[in-house]
Each structure stands twice: as structure tokens, then as C-alpha cells.
Amino acid sequence: MSDSTVEALVLDLLEWIGPTPRPYDEVLDAWRTSCPRLPVWEEAQGRGLLSMGVEAEHGRVVFVAPAGWEHLRRHRPSSPARVAEAN
């Protein structure tokens, strides 16, 4: 896979998580891969685009970090997730 493919998928991941934190297990089930050439989750984590926390209702959650919102704003300014996050 090319870097542009991974980059596009990182942006998809940020949009998919969106403005509301998602349960950690749900995110990993949907986005973890064993393919070393498609490290979407690992790439987003390593670049500080995602953060994790704990919510009483859901336990461990994943949310888009401020750096992730900035990255999404720069690369997909009309993203529905960006519009929702701004409101």
C-alpha cells in the first residue's frame, strides 16, 4: 500500500470516530489490521491524532485529539465530522 492510501484511511478513521468518543473495543474491531503495509490505527496513534480515555458508561473510549481535528481540517475541510465537531 502506498503512503497516500494509508493517509486516506487515517482521514477516514478520524471521520468515522467523529465528534463523539467511541468504545475502544469497537474502534479496534473496525480498524485494527494485521497487515504491516496498512497500519491505519498504528499510524493515527503514533502521530497523536487520537486520544483515549475512560467513560463510566462505555469504559475505555477513543476520541479524535486536537491534532486529529487539525489534520482533518487541513486535509478534508468539508468533512461532516469537522462540521459536527465545530457545533
Report the predicted TM-score, pTM, of the whole model to 2 decimal places: 0.83
- The CATH number linked to 31 is 1.10.10
Q: Range of 67's domain?
A: 3-86
pLDDT of residue 12: 94
pLDDT of residue 37: 65
pLDDT of residue 79: 81
Q: How many domains does the chain have?
A: 1
How far is Cα 24 from Cα 17, in angstroms, rounded to an integer? 11
pLDDT of residue 86: 56
> Do the beta carbons of residue 19 and residue 85 sit within 8 Å?
yes
Taking alpha carbons only, the member of 39, 47, 42 closest to residue 75 is: 47
pLDDT in tens, the chain (87 residues): 458 888 999 999 999 999 999 999 998 888 877 666 668 888 999 999 999 999 998 899 999 999 999 999 999 888 877 555 555
> Quick one: cell of 73?
481540517
